[in-house]
Amino acid sequence: MIPVNEPIFFGNEKKYLNECIDSGWISSDGPFVSLFEKKLATYFNRKFAIAVSNGTVALDLAVESLNLKRGDEIILPSFTIISCIGSILRNGLVPIFIDQEKDTWNMDASTIEKNISKKTKAIMIVHIYGLPVDVDPILKIAKKYNLRVIEDAAEVIGQTYYDKKCGSFGDVSTLSFYPNKHITTGEGGMILTDDDDLADACRSLRNLCFLPGKRFIHEKLGWNLRMTNMQAAVGVAQLEQLDRFVEKKRWIGRLYNDLLSSVKGIQLPIQKTDYAENIYWVYGIVLKDMHFQLSDVTKRLSDVGIGTRPFFGPLHNQPVIKSLGLANEHALPFCENLYDRGFYLPSGLALTEKDIQRSANELIRILG
């Protein structure tokens, strides 16, 4: 079986983990946590980096730190993982969904302004599958309407937008270090910001909202969302190899492109735009030929040992969103088509050229 993703560890991971064990400092607030935060803040040219236990809670704290009021609206893409909306709903906020661009699969910035109301207070940017969102138009809209910007850069660690790192835009940005990300700590996440108040709020919320100087007195409820020293040790070692990982991802994408470019009836990822070269977090494919059913293609690939994953289910069509009465009144056709017709092939950093050739050849055979 060629899995969809398999992480690789051939740097200083074992060395740094042994340092944690030898020192006895395996839990939170260890030296590797501080070092990981410092190195990521520098890498993204951010003032603050706050390490947390996973990418989902990074979004939770990012949204809560903005201190929005119940009923306020946040505009976000419908085509993304469910984590992006959990923090919105748990804070009593209202999601406003927009559709995707047909070619880049990212949120369509041209539809944002018509969805802004008096209750709109923020825009959540989510970079999808390897190409960044066209950020500049969104930042201009945010400035025009005095909106906060939350940037989810989990899928594009190492990517740039006009040579500026993704993860450096907006009021607050978030990262995930799940095993399928470009660098991993097993689980883990990071919040990035230049705002002193947002950084203080996120640090407090991740650590049970202890009051400074009055440790067991609490004016707010927080969580225990701390990253362990052992997670951070792995993260530091992975960060040292990030440039190499990015180049490997782009090599995977180029090889798939060469093997599949002549196949009719499928849409391949865009190789580059005016503002970025694809980083191929995953290698996605959309079936254009209606003779092929997505479930049949992916089952037949699985039968011959090729792992696949479907694309994200649009948030506005999720059963939980419909049960809350928050589904869109109008269809969002592009993201609905991506879910109905899209999947991705094995894309992990451990892939070999032989793995990629086999995956592509089996797909070609199935599509005839």
Q: Does residue 30 sit in helix, strand or coil? A: coil
| DSSP class of 200 | H
pLDDT of residue 187: 96
d(CA 5, CA 355): 12
d(CA 143, CA 280): 30
pLDDT of residue 139: 97
Query: Between the CA of residue 64 and those of 192, 205, 236, 321, what are the distances in Å?
Result: 14, 9, 27, 20
Strand ranges across the sheet with 266-267: 266-267, 283-287, 342-345, 309-310
pLDDT of residue 102: 94
* Tens place of pLDDT per residue across the chain (368 aa): 999 999 999 999 999 999 999 999 999 889 999 999 999 999 999 999 999 999 999 999 999 999 999 999 999 999 999 999 998 999 999 999 999 999 999 999 999 999 999 999 999 999 999 999 999 999 999 999 999 999 999 999 999 999 999 999 989 999 999 999 999 999 999 999 999 999 999 999 999 999 888 888 888 889 999 999 999 999 999 999 999 999 999 999 999 999 999 999 999 999 999 999 999 999 999 999 888 899 999 999 999 999 999 999 999 999 999 999 887 777 899 999 999 999 999 999 999 999 999 999 999 999 98
Return the percent helix, strand and coil in the chain, to nearest 5.
Answer: 40, 20, 45
Q: Which domains does the chain have, with CATH numbers?
A: 13-239 (3.40.640.10), 242-367 (3.90.1150.10)
d(CA 331, CA 200): 40
Q: Does residue 362 sit in helix, strand or coil? A: helix
Task: Return the half-sphere exposure (C-beta side, CA atoms, 13 A cut-off) of residue 119.
Answer: 13
pLDDT of residue 248: 98
